[in-house]
A and B are shown apart, each in its own frame.
Chain A
Amino acid sequence: MNVLEVDNLSKEFPIKSGLLQRETGRVRAVQDVSFTIGRGETLALVGESGCGKTTVSRCILRALPPTRGSIRFSHAPGSSIDMAPLSRRALRPLRRHIQMIFQDPYASLNPRMMVGDIIAEPLLVNGVAAAQRQARVRELLDLVGLPAAARTRFPHAFSGGQRQRIGIARALALDPSLVVADEPVSALDVSVQAQIINLLLDLQDRLGLSMLFVAHDLGVVRHVSDRVAVMYVGRIVETAPTTALYSTPRHPYTEALLAAVPKADPALRDQVSAPRGEIADPANPPPGCAFHPRCPYAVERCRAELPQLQEIAPAHWSACHRTAELLLRGVA
C-alpha cells in the first residue's frame, strides 16, 4: 500500500517581461515526474540546485499548485485522494497528515514562543484538549531526545541540533502519514548532523515513518533512504533501491554525481572527477536528453530524442538510451 503516488507531475513557472508583464516563456521546473512512496518507506529525491527537487516537494505539500499531473495521497488504508486539483478548503482536512521538517532550524521556529507551545501548536489547531496536549508534548520531547524542561524555554536557548529536534517533534505531533523533509541536516555541523541522521533512523524504526527526503548530499542520503530518485533539469533520470543506485548506477548523470563527491579517504583522490560543463538552464533545456552536452557517452540519438524511464532491473529505472550497453561505475 502506497502512501503517495505521484503521476506525471509537472510544474511550470511563467517568465514575464516587458511593461505589460506578458508571458514570454516558461520555466519547466518539473516535468512528468512520477514516483511512489510506500508505507514506512523513505524515498530520497536528490539532484543539484535548480533540478526541481524542492519544487516537487512544494507541490506535494500543495504550497504550489501543480500545472499538470496527479498526487494521490492515502492517509488511511482504503482511502486515496488526488490532491492536485483540490481547493485550499478541501485540502485543509488532509494537511494534518502531511508534515514538514525544514532546513533551517533557526528560521523555522517562532522565537517568541516557548518550545512546548511550538510543539503543541499543531495539536491546538486540530482541537486536542489541553491535558492531552501536555501529555503529548512530553512524549514528543522524549521521542526526539530533549529533556522535559525544554517545554518552558525559548528557541534561542537551544543549539542548531536541538532546534532541529524541536522541529521534528512538531512535525510528528499529529502522527502524520507522510513527512516531507527538505534538506533537514544540511545546515548542521557534521557532529550534530550525525545525531539528527541517527534520530531520523530511530524514528523510522519506531514509528514506521513514511518520508520524502529531499537532499543534495549523497552521503547523507545513503544512510537515510530506502530508495533514491535522481533528478536532472526537472526530470527523474534514475530511480532505484539505495544500495543498487550507489553500487550499480545505470544513468551517466548518477555516475557523474557519485564520482564528484569528495571521498573522506586520501587514497581515493584519483577516483574523484568532475563532469564537464554546467547544469542546463531549465528555461532553455537542451533538446533530447538534457544531460547530453555533459555526458561522455552521448551519441546522436541523445541529442534528438528524449529518453523515457525504463525498468532495467527489478525496481531499477533509468532514462538513458544507452543504459543497457553501458557499464557505469558506482561506489560499491
Chain B
Amino acid sequence: MPQTPMVEPVTSARHALSVRDLVVDFVQDTGAVRALDGVGLDLHAGRVLGVVGESGCGKSVTARAILRLIDRPGRIASGRVLLDPDTPAQQDLAALDPEGKAMRAVRGGRIGLIFQEPMTALSVHYTVGNQIIEAMRAHSDMSKAEARQRVVALLHEVGIPRPETRIDAYPFQLSGGLRQRVGIALALAADPQILIADEPTTALDVTTQAQILALLRRLQRTKGVALMLITHDMGVIAQMADDVAVMYLGRMVEFAPVTQLFAAPQHPYTRALLRSVPNLRAMPRERLATIGGAVPHPGARPVGCPFHPRCPEIIKGRCETQAPPEIPPGERGASCFHATVATMPSDAEATA
C-alpha cells in the first residue's frame, strides 16, 4: 500500500506531551551513570516524532521515563514530563507516584505502548482476547460482553484475519507479525491519545515490517494520535516520521522536520550516521563512510560535547571542554558549535 509523503506544519497541531530537561540517572556502587542528560521534546496530536540513535543513546530510556517505567537503580533526577501542557488538565508525570492510581490511568490509558517484542506485553497464559478485554476494562466501565465486541472490531482494525476466532487464540498460536498486530491492538485498547512504539518492527522480517509500518501510519492518521516512534533504522525514520530527534549518549543532538533532516543534516553525527547507512543503490563493493570508534559507555561520558572523540569536525580547545548549547524545544537545530542554533528559523517560519 503506497503512503503519501505528507508533512503538515507543526504549528497546526496540539501539544499532547512536552518533555523538559529530563535527566535520568542509574545509581551504582561506583557512582551515578547519567542515561539521559537534559532531554526536551514535544509530541503533537496527529504527528509522528521519530527518535533515532544507536544503542545506549537513551531513546528507550526516554520512553520508559515518560511512562514511569524506569526500574531501580534508575531514577528521574530532574525534569518534567507534561501531559496536556498549557491546558487546565496539565499534569507532570515526573512528579507522580509510578505505582499510583493517576500514573496507572495514564499508562495504557492516555498513553499506549508498543514493544519491540510483543511478548513483553503479552502473557503466555491468557488468550489474546482476555488480555485486551482486561486492558480495555481497566480504563473504562464497559461490560465484558461489550468489551469483547469492541476487541473483535479492534483486531479487525489492526488487520488480523478472522478476528472472531483469533480472539480466543493464545499468543503462541500466532505468527510474529500477527503477534505484533495484537501488541498494537493492546496498546490501542483504551483509545490513547499518545502512542509510544519502541522499535516496533526491529524483530520482524522486512515484508512484515512494511505491513506493520503501514498499519501504524494508517491508525495514527485516522485516530489523530501523537506517535513517538523509536528506532535505530534511518529508513524507518524516512518513511514514517514528520519530525526527527537524533539522540547520542543521552542528549538530543539534532531536531528537524524529516525532509530537512535528510536534505540538510546539521550535526556531524547525523551526517555521519546518514552516510553510514547501507544503500540499496550502491555500486558493487562500494565502501561506506564510517564514524571512528564506537558509542562510549554512558558511564564514561566524554567531557564537553559527548560526540567530540569521534567527531571529524572537532574544534580543538572548545568541543572537549564546553558542552554545546541545547536545542530549544520544538526548534530545528543541532547541539553543535558549528550549527548556529539560536539563529536558525523554526520550521513554522521556514515553511511559512
Contacts and interface: CB of A to CB of B under 8 A. Distances in A.
Interface stretch (B13-21, B205-213, B317-325): B205-213
A216 B259 contact: no
A133 to B, nearest CB: 29
Interface in B228-272: 232-240, 258-259, 262, 272
B90 to A, nearest CB: 33
Interface string B275-318: 01111111011111111001100000000000000000000000
Q: How large is the interface on A (under 10, 10 to 19, 20 to 34, 35 or more residues)?
A: 35 or more
Contacts of B289: 194
A189, A193, A217, A246, most chain B CB atoms within 10 A: A189
Interface residues of B, number: 53
Interface string A163-204: 000000000000000000000000001111111011001001
Contacts of A269: 3-5, 238-239
A222 interface: yes
Contacts of B272: 191
Interface stretch (A81-89, A118-126, A270-278, A302-310): A270-278
A190 B238 contact: no
A192 B3 CA distance: 31
B140 interface: no
A265 B259 CA distance: 8
A268 B262 CA distance: 12
Contact of A262 (B54, B233, B262, B274): B233
A273 B2 CA distance: 6
Contacts of A271: 2
Chain A contact residues: helix, strand, loop or mixed: helix
B171 interface: no
Given A190-B54, A243-B284, A219 B277 contact: yes
B108 interface: no
Given A264-B274, A278-B175, A194 B288 contact: yes
Nearest to B288: A194
B350 interface: no
A332 B279 CA distance: 11
A234 interface: no
A315 interface: no
A104 interface: no
B273 interface: yes
Contacts of B4: 269-270
B120 to A, nearest CB: 19
B285 A266 contact: no
B214 interface: yes
Contacts of B262: 264-266
A269 B240 CA distance: 8
A258 interface: yes
B54, B232, B287, B290, most chain A CB atoms within 10 A: B290
A257 B277 contact: no
Interface in A199-245: 201, 204-205, 216-220, 222-224, 226, 242-243
B291 A191 contact: yes
B177 interface: yes
B55 interface: yes
A19 interface: no
A15 interface: no
A330 B8 CA distance: 30
A262 B239 contact: yes
Interface in B89-104: none
A48 B205 contact: yes
B207 A279 contact: yes
B281 A331 contact: yes
Given A219-B279, A274-B211, A265 B273 contact: no
Contacts of A220: 278
B284 A195 contact: no
Given A219-B278, A262-B210, A262-B240, 5 more contacts: A216-B206, A223-B285, A260-B206, A262-B213, A266-B259
Interface of B: 1-5, 7, 54-55, 175-178, 205-211, 213-214, 232-240, 258-259, 262, 272-274, 276-282, 284-291, 294-295
